[in-house]
């Protein structure tokens, strides 16, 4: 009788551990109910998409210890809960509600637990909070304007600003800070090469030089600014309407 009892207990424990650990096919990334065109699977496995599971001792976590006391964040978003869609290079689409962008590594990732993240690879397109990102030469760019021959793109990365020290007392006046870096690019006529664009009047007019006169008139008429992102999107959209 005792032997049978222990066998039952062992079977229950074995089933529980198998469920908890999940082996190679488990993850706690939640898949939401997607529209019909987006594929989803029960027990969604991120490894089907392509990526690497990174544990606590990897650089994705070591940097938090290395830069202890540094202000700012290594991530594009403060929270990890977002309505997101990822698309692989093979065209498969999945909806995920646990996604962020690492500014230091410039990669999308999901937090699986307090001590592990899953870093995605081989993604061609990501939509997160209605912001569209596409991969060009292994870097991600947010699409700000994609309505014609000229595409306006935005790249995100990060930079560590060193602490400000008092030379007399050798005390920290201003702590170190990890800041978000934003860079703009234009892509013309579907070409592979991107041209860096500063949000300055001279740089924008140079990039759109074949319609310079029309652009200047449009900016003046609508009281737009060359150093404002929203206004620059309007400028590029207007340029794309010109024949």
Q: What is the DSSP string of 128-165?
A: ETTEEEEEETTEEEEEEE-SSSEEEEEEEEEEEEPPEE
- pLDDT value, residue 54: 56
Q: Return the residue matching tokens 């309407």.
A: 241
Return the higher-pLDDT residue of 131 and 14.
131
The whole-number pLDDT of residue 162 equals: 83
pLDDT, tens only, 163-191: 888 888 888 888 888 889 999 999 988 77
Task: State mean pLDDT over 82-92.
Answer: 88
CA 194 – CA 188 distance, rounded (Å) = 8
Q: What is the pTM of this model?
A: 0.73
């Amino acid at each position: 009788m005792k032997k049978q009892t222990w066998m039952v207990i062992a079977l229950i424990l074995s089933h529980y551990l198998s469920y908890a650990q999940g082996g190679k096919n488990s993850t706690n990334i939640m898949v939401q109910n997607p529209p019909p065109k987006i594929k989803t699977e029960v027990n969604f496995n991120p490894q089907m998409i392509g990526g690497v599971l990174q544990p606590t001792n990897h650089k994705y976590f070591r940097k938090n210890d290395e830069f202890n006391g540094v202000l700012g964040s290594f991530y594009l978003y403060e929270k990890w809960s977002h309505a997101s869609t990822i698309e692989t290079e093979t065209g498969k689409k999945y909806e995920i509600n646990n996604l962020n962008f690492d500014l230091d590594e410039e990669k999308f990732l999901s937090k699986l637990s307090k001590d592990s993240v899953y870093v995605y690879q081989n993604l061609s397109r990501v939509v997160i909070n209605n912001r569209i990102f596409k991969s060009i030469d292994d870097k991600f760019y947010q699409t700000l304007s994609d309505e014609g021959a000229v595409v306006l793109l935005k790249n995100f990365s990060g930079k560590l600003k060193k602490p400000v020290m008092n030379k007399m007392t050798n005390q920290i006046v201003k702590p170190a800070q990890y800041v978000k870096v934003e860079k703009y690019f234009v892509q013309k006529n579907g070409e592979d090469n991107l041209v860096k664009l500063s949000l300055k009047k001279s740089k924008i007019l140079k990039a759109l030089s074949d319609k310079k006169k029309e652009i200047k008139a449009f900016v003046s008429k609508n009281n737009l600014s060359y150093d404002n992102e929203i206004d620059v999107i309007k400028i590029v959209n207007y340029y794309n309407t010109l024949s």
